[in-house]
């Protein structure tokens, strides 16, 4: 027979262990989203419906809409490109400041943008811009006179792009991933991004539509906002080895349209309460310490 005090001790140990494990917080990646109504918001990768308040971006022209967003790795400043090809930095409170123009972009063009961290570390043209028509180039946001360099065209319908290994360590290799909205496939280029050789990784697993955000945190954590059959945005993880998309959850956008841009905003952290997201967004905008992204210089 087991003595009573041992039974109580064992029960206490089990209860204590249960308490400790239940207290371990879930971890997720903070992400900033852009909607097609020119609003930005933050959420974590585990619970996309628990987002912050929306902040409207100001300073755009009449009929102008932002279509892509990313954070510059070396400075933490947030940048966006509009449907008129204009490149903006986004400051505290959502104010947009014009810094240059990417030629050849019309109001109906779908655009994928992403910073190349290695090129950015070298202060080269690092903001990769690829359009649905196949236009490919890079914009130098750090030059005394910011400018765009046109490069070799790629296939059409590559509407979302993301660099892997989003750090500024010159010793870390990177690849550029693409979502093909025509074939609903994930594709990749492993170098020479100015004239890339693009191969297919695999299918997403469903018809994802042609507008959505895409980002990779580190080397493996890939996420995308994809449109489902009813046209609404949902949040997915993307398997970089197979191309398959797995649903994480739906957004809670209300009247704020669909999500068309994503950027990871920092290190994985404990999932905060929903009420803290408004403070998170205010802090991110206030100090311009947004998201992270890609790697390897265009040659």
* 145 burial level (CB within 10 Å; 0-12, 13-18, 19+): exposed
Contact 42, 280 (CB under 8 A): yes
Rounded CA gap, 245 and 56, in Å?
Answer: 30
Res. 235: pLDDT tops 90: yes
In the chain, the percentage of residues whose pLDDT exceeds 70 is: 79
| Model confidence, pTM | 0.80
Q: Specify if 15 maps to a domain.
A: no
Query: Which of these ranges, 28-32, 199-203, 238-242, 271-275, has the smallest mean pLDDT?
Result: 271-275
Q: Specify if 171 maps to a domain.
A: yes
How much is the average pLDDT of 132-159? 96
How much is the average pLDDT of 141-159? 96
Higher pLDDT, 285 or 223: 223
- Summary mean pLDDT of the chain: 82
Q: Which residues pair with 233 in a beta bridge?
A: 227
Query: Which of these ranges, 61-70, 145-154, 160-169, has the smallest mean pLDDT?
Result: 160-169
How much is the average pLDDT of 229-240? 88
Q: Specify if 298 maps to a domain.
A: no
Q: Number of folded domains in the chain?
A: 1
Q: What's the confidence (pLDDT) of residue 73?
A: 86
Q: Which two tokens stand for residue 226?
A: 């994809």
Q: Specify if 5 maps to a domain.
A: no
Q: What is the CATH number of the domain that holds 160?
A: 2.120.10
Q: Which residues pair with 259 in a beta bridge?
A: 35
Q: What's the confidence (pLDDT) of residue 266?
A: 67
Domain assignment of residue 130, given as a range: 27-287
How much is the average pLDDT of 64-70? 96
Q: What's the confidence (pLDDT) of residue 42?
A: 94
pLDDT-derived band at 5 (thresholds 50, 70, 90) equals very low
């Amino acid at each position: 027979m087991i003595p009573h005090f041992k039974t109580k001790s064992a029960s206490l140990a089990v209860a204590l262990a249960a308490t400790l494990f239940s207290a371990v917080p879930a971890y997720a990646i903070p992400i900033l989203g852009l909607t097609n109504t020119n609003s930005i918001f933050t959420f974590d990768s585990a619970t996309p419906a628990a987002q912050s308040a929306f902040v409207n971006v100001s300073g755009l022209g009449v009929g102008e809409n932002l279509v892509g967003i990313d954070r510059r790795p070396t400075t933490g400043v947030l940048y966006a490109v509009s449907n008129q090809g204009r490149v903006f930095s986004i400051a505290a409170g959502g104010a947009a400041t014009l810094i240059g123009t990417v030629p050849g972009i019309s109001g109906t063009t779908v655009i994928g943008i992403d910073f190349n961290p290695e090129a950015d570390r070298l202060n080269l043209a690092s903001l990769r811009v690829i359009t649905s028509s196949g236009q490919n180039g890079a914009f130098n946001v750090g030059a005394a006179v910011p400018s765009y360099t046109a490069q070799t065209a790629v296939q059409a319908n590559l509407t979302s792009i993301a660099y892997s290994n989003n750090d500024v360590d010159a010793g870390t290799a990177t690849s550029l991933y693409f979502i093909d909205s025509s074939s609903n496939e994930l594709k990749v280029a492993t170098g020479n991004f100015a004239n890339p050789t693009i191969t297919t990784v695999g299918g997403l697993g469903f018809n994802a539509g042609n507008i959505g955000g895409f980002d990779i945190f580190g080397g493996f954590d890939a996420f995308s906002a994809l449109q489902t059959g009813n046209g609404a945005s949902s949040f997915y993880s993307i398997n970089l080895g197979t191309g398959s998309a797995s649903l994480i959850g739906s957004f809670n956008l209300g009247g704020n349209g669909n999500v068309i841009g994503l950027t990871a905003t920092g290190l994985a952290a404990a999932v905060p309460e929903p009420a803290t997201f408004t403070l998170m967004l205010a802090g991110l905008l206030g100090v311009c310490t947004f998201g992270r992204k890609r790697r390897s210089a265009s040659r």
